[in-house]
Each structure stands twice: as C-alpha cells, then as structure tokens.
Amino acid sequence: MTAKARKASSHPPRVGIGGWTYEPWRDNFYPKGLAQTKELQYASRQLTAIEVNGTYYSTFKPPTFRKWADETPDGFVFSLKANRFATNRKLLGTAKESIARFVDSGIAELGDKLGPIVWQFMPTKAFEPEDFEAFLALLPKKEGSRALQHVMDVRHPSFLLDEYRALAAQYGVSTVFTDADKFPSFEEPEGPVAYARLMMADAKLAAGYAPKALDAWAERTQGWAARRPTYVFFINGAKEKAPAAAGALLKRLGWAPAKEAQ
C-alpha cells in the first residue's frame, strides 16, 4: 500500500470477488489459455481475498482446504460461506449438528488464510429474537487454535432493529453491509469486522462502477479499515465485471499485484 493508505488504515482492507471459477472471466480476467487448474493461483495474486460460495452448497474435506492454502500467497484470505443446512431451517436453534459438521470439515487447514465465516439466511427468514439468539449461542468461538469471526448475512427487513443490533453485539458477530436495492442493510457495516458485499455493478462500465463511485468506496473502505478488519467483495450484479471492480478499488487503496503475478 502507499504511505498515505497505510497511514489511513491500521487494518489493510481485503478486497476480492466471489469464487474464482466463472466462464466469462476466462480470456477476460484470466489470461488467454490459462489452465482452469491455475485459476485460483492467478486470482489470488491479483486480489487480496475471495469469498467461497461452494461451501454453502457442498461439504468439502480437509485436503481441499489445505490445497487452497498451498496455492495462494502469504497474506491472502478466504471468507467461507457456511453450509446452507445450518441456516435454511424453520428453527435456527436446532442447527447444532449442521454447524458442527461445517466447522469440523477442515476449515482450520486454511490456517492464517481463514477469514470470516458468513452465515447467509433466506430473504424470507424473519428476525425471531429468541430463536436467533439460540442460533448465535451455538456458534463456536474457535476451531482448534484458530479464532473464528462470524458474519450474519440477514436478508429480511425485520432484522433492522436495535434489538437485533444488541444481540449481535452481545455475541460478537458482524452483519453484512450491501449496496443492493433488493436486500435490506444498515447504513454502515456492523460488528467487529466490516464486511461489505457490493452488488450493483453495471455491465456498461469498464470496471462495473463509475470512477467517482469507486473513489467513494475507497474512501469509505479506508474509514472502515482505520477502526477494524475490513472485507469488501464484488458479488453478483454484472458478475463479469467483478474482478475489474475489485482491482480498481485495490489500486485506489494503494495495493498492486507483485510484478511476477501480472
């Protein structure tokens, strides 16, 4: 990062995309002819974080997490979306086994590259204080020697209450911030980490967002990162533009890929 960016940020912000396997990124973000087996290796050297969506749908084993860690450079971070069986249920307080199955699946193999765990809820899942507290009480604080940071991706407007905020603060969890019109969001990221999912990319713009908008996001990101660890992911919207948007934001934050990675 530049000296100016380092001074503004005591927590270097992580910026990235959702996943790394997406056909429109080939011969676009990825160099022409790059083997698909090399895509994670390449993406992790152009960005500083990736949010893994596959863990929401499937259960992975320790060797897979170990392989991801081995293929990515020092300082890179994965955030993992927790398996949907833990969150897509009528009574969240019954999720103990599903939570344990996900946390015990080998995520600790990522070591220092393990970032936040995102618990994503259906847009129809309303806030029920007692049941949601029962769910939060089930979330482990550690896996082995690794401290875990949990992030709630709540998508029903009933969560936008001081009662929910107080509960999240009590259990030390964070809440996703998004710019998407279709999902509710507090005006700023909530919790011990700032976790933003930006979803309004425009396919007509080279980087998905206009230069002035990216300037504004860079300023906001630096403000968040001055106080706490910060993660910004470009997700959905015009997904083909996500790598360009992430790269443009990283450039504004003073970060650039190592020359050998370009």
Instruction: For residues 194 and 74, give the distance between their C-alpha atoms in angstroms, rounded to a whole number.
Output: 22
Confidence of residue 260 (pLDDT cuts 50, 70, 90): low
List the one residue out of 259, 238, 260 whose CA is nearest residue 25. Answer: 238
Average pLDDT over residues 232-250: 96
Sequence-ordered list of residues with C-beta below 8 angstroms from that of 124, at least 6 positions apart, any chain: 156
**Mind listing the pLDDT tens digit for each residue in 124-176?**
999 999 999 999 999 999 998 889 999 999 999 999 999 999 999 999 999 99
Average pLDDT over residues 17-31: 95
Residue 262 lies in a domain: no
The count of structural domains within the chain is 1
Domain that holds residue 103: 3-257
Which amino acid is located at 110 in the chain?
A: L
Residue pair 233/16 in contact (Cβ under 8 Å)? The answer is yes
Residue 244 lies in a domain: yes
pLDDT of residue 4: 45
Q: Which helix (H) or strand (E) holds 54?
A: helix 54-57
CATH number of the domain enclosing 112: 3.20.20.410
Sequence-ordered list of residues with C-beta below 8 angstroms from that of 215, at least 6 positions apart, any chain: 252
Tokens of 107: 């995520």
pLDDT at 5 over 70: no
